[in-house]
Structure 1
Amino acid sequence: MLRIATSQLYQQGAKAMNGGQLALAKVQQQMATGQRILANSDDPVGSARLLSLKDELGRYDQYQRNIDVASGRMSLEESTLGDAGELLQRTRELTIQANNAPLNDNDRRDIAKEIRQIHSQMFSLANTKDGDGEYLFSGFQSRSQPFVLDANNQAIYQGDQGQRLVKAGPTLDVPASDSGDEVFRGALNGNGSFRVAATATNTGNGSVAVGSVTDPAAFVGHSYSIAFTSATTFDVTDTTTGTAVLSNQNYKDEGSIQFAGLQTAVSGNPAAGDTFTIQPATRQDFFKTLDDLATALETSGNTPARGAQLNQALANGLAALDQGLEHLTGVRAKAGSRLKALEEQTTVNGDFTTHLQQTINDVGGLDYAEAATRLSKETFTLQVAQQSFVRIQNLSLFNYMR
């Protein structure tokens, strides 16, 4: 007959109670956390998949944080661009006023003062900071002020041409900013193809029209001069190649002058020796456009030559403003498109995040009905073990001798 030591009975009873307590505690923890898998050993395969799914969910959370930051910066940029456009539009109104109304020097100086104020406002917009104190238009140099003024009131750009990209999704990188070089210095002067000017030494009161390209195929982008050989005749020379284009042409006030795929016109009464130039359009920042207009309006004098110089400066300034407004519209449209892309990606990310969360719940979530059944079972098992142990504790030789 097999004889079992009392100590062995105690050990078995204690082990049974300990196991029951651990099993019951596990079920209680599962129900408290709502998670079926509490340790890798509970389900090695499911645990590995859960880890992968949670990593993926973390990446999508980061995508959304990126989108939130980028959307804030781009909304601020779009608003700033709108403000800049309003400043250029106001300057355009002032330029038309100065060009059309019969004004004296004091009147023009008053207009110049407002344009100087607009220059200051534009400078402030170009140095806008975001909510984190970073400059909006410095490119990658976000801690450096993008624009400073030199001794001649000319704006110097200190940033770079970098565009910050944000990871908005697994395969979507969206530019979250535009450099100040692109925004405030990216517009072309003249009509966008070529620019005109009257030589400063002209003595007549003639001025040259901004003009346009009439035949893109024939337009080669050379520089030209329109030189008046008398008050009624002029020559056109290609100064890029040094060749004559038109010779001994009869002058007609505001009459169209066409050559090399472009057209322009001279108005007023140019004098012999007066020269007008045509050159390829170049990039011109908003600050120079505003400064040139203010300077032209601040210059005193009512001579015919002075009047022609002012008319030319206003016409060129108006053309530059139109180019600037068109440029800003383009930049703002691109910013708006990027904002729209971020909004759409937010929806995509949200849908996939919901899918991930559901999958995580399917893999590691707890079936509460099944857990409740196990809780009842483990509670009953523990109670039985405890009662058995109590009975074993009360056993002794004297119990058998009764």
Structure 2
Amino acid sequence: MRVTQNMLANSSLKHISNSYQRMGKYQDQLSTGKKITRPSDDPVVAMKGMYYRTNLTEVEQYKRNLSELNLWMENSDASLDQANSSLQRIRELLLQAKNGTNTVDERTAIATEINQLKEDLVNVANSKVADKFIFNGTDVNKEPVTLMDGKAVVSKNNEDFNVEVGPGVKIRANIHPGNVFSENLFGDIEKIVTDLKADNTSDLDNLLTKVDDHMDNLSSERADLGARYNRLEMVSSRIDTQEIFANRVLSDNEDADIERVITDLKTQESVHRAALSVGAQIIQPTLMDFLR
């Protein structure tokens, strides 16, 4: 096949154009820090990147769930601590009211304070986190306890409020409110108030026993909450480790080796200059070149 001047020129332009493309590729890698800028650059890297990024997104979502769960449990524990203090104070006042030397006015004053403590327990039972009631099972949009004519009306939702913290792994965020803020609790406190205002001390020993039972129930729920909180910390540690691994795998797949890219770019620049120099020699000789 006869090689013409036009063929040499076209071939030279083709190689120079390809050289520009390779330099552009290296410059893109340097500016973005990534091996590819579009899926067509390397379909395998692109497909793996989608998979790894999906895993990382899932881990990040689990971390957000853990943060919400942590906030929920911490507020639950703080609320239970406050409720325990209120019940402890009610117990102290009840012991004080049993003293036979108290006058009617003194027992009435004790009843008034216990009634205030009952209202404080109602407020604790209606604690909210992120605008959700934490002591009403899965019915987080409805307050668990309401006061109607001074009497506490309790919602009876004891279902588990679970939060997913891993693939197929869920942790219960709430306590069982029926074991702490029950109708019996508020009913017993209201009976204490009624009896003391009526100066009736015949049933105070029985009511004191019931208060102790309520405190025991609260302690049991708090202990269970503490056990789940410990598990939450272990899961959180494992998720943090998974996030590190997911970022590392994603980086290994997509991030460019900057040192190597710089070396390749410098090499390509040298090749490009050589191609331009050779291309300059292919110019068609003129008639003057033959007349010299």
Using the size of structure 1 for normalisation, the TM-score is 0.67
* 1:242-291 alpha-carbon deviations (Å, 9 max, x no partner): xxxxxxxxxxxxxxxxxxxxxxxxxxxxxxxxxxxxxxxxxx53211211
How far apart in 1 are the matches of 2:112 and 2:274?
96
Unaligned runs of 5+ in 1: 186-283, 301-308
- SS for the counterpart of 1:162 is coil
The range that moved more, 334-343 or 173-182, is 173-182
- CA RMSD in angstroms, aligned pairs only: 2.3
Query: Is the contact between residue 87 and residue 122 of structure 1 (CA under 8 Å) also seen in structure 2?
Result: yes
Q: Which amino acid aligns with 2:2?
A: L
> Are 1:34 and 2:49 counterparts?
no
Larger Rg: 1
Report the Cα offset of residue 133 of structure 1: 1.7
> Are 1:169 and 2:59 counterparts?
no
Report the Cα offset of residue 144 of structure 1: 1.8
How far apart in 1 are the matches of 2:281 and 2:196?
111
Q: Which amino acid aligns with 1:4?
A: T
How far apart in 2 are the matches of 1:164 and 1:385?
70
- SS for the counterpart of 1:310 is coil
> Are 1:397 and 2:286 counterparts?
yes
The range that moved more, 40-49 or 75-84, is 40-49
Corresponding residue for residue 23 of structure 2: 24
Unaligned runs of 5+ in 2: none
Identity of aligned residues (%): 25
How far apart in 1 are the matches of 2:145 and 2:281?
89
Corresponding residue for residue 125 of structure 1: 124
Report the Cα offset of residue 340 of structure 1: 1.2
Corresponding residue for residue 113 of structure 2: 114
Query: Is the contact between residue 174 and residue 338 of structure 1 (CA under 8 Å) also seen in structure 2?
Result: yes
Corresponding residue for residue 93 of structure 1: 92
Report the Cα offset of residue 365 of structure 1: 3.2
Selected match of 1:178 from 164, 170, 175: 175
How far apart in 1 are the matches of 2:34 and 2:90?
66
- 1:40-189 aligned at under 5 Å gives the runs 40-130=39-129, 132-151=130-149, 153-158=150-155, 160-185=157-182
- SS for the counterpart of 1:400 is helix
- 1:199-210 aligned at under 5 Å gives the runs none
Using the size of structure 2 for normalisation, the TM-score is 0.90
- SS for the counterpart of 1:336 is helix
Report the Cα offset of residue 293 of structure 1: 0.6
Q: Which amino acid aligns with 2:289?
A: Y
Query: Is the contact between residue 140 and residue 159 of structure 1 (CA under 8 Å) also seen in structure 2?
Result: no
Selected match of 2:270 from 380, 388, 396: 380
How far apart in 2 are the matches of 1:359 and 1:184?
48
How far apart in 1 are the matches of 2:100 and 2:275?
106
Q: Which amino acid aligns with 2:187?
A: K
How far apart in 2 are the matches of 1:162 and 1:175?
10
Report the Cα offset of residue 297 of structure 1: 0.4
> Are 1:310 and 2:211 counterparts?
no
How far apart in 2 are the matches of 1:182 and 1:326?
10
In structure 2, the CA distance between the partners of 1:26 and 1:318, relative to structure 1 (3 Å rule), is: same
- SS for the counterpart of 1:311 is coil
Q: Which amino acid aligns with 2:155?
A: Q
> Are 1:292 and 2:191 counterparts?
yes
- SS for the counterpart of 2:241 is helix
Report the Cα offset of residue 333 of structure 1: 1.1
> Are 1:2 and 2:5 counterparts?
no
Report the Cα offset of residue 137 of structure 1: 1.6
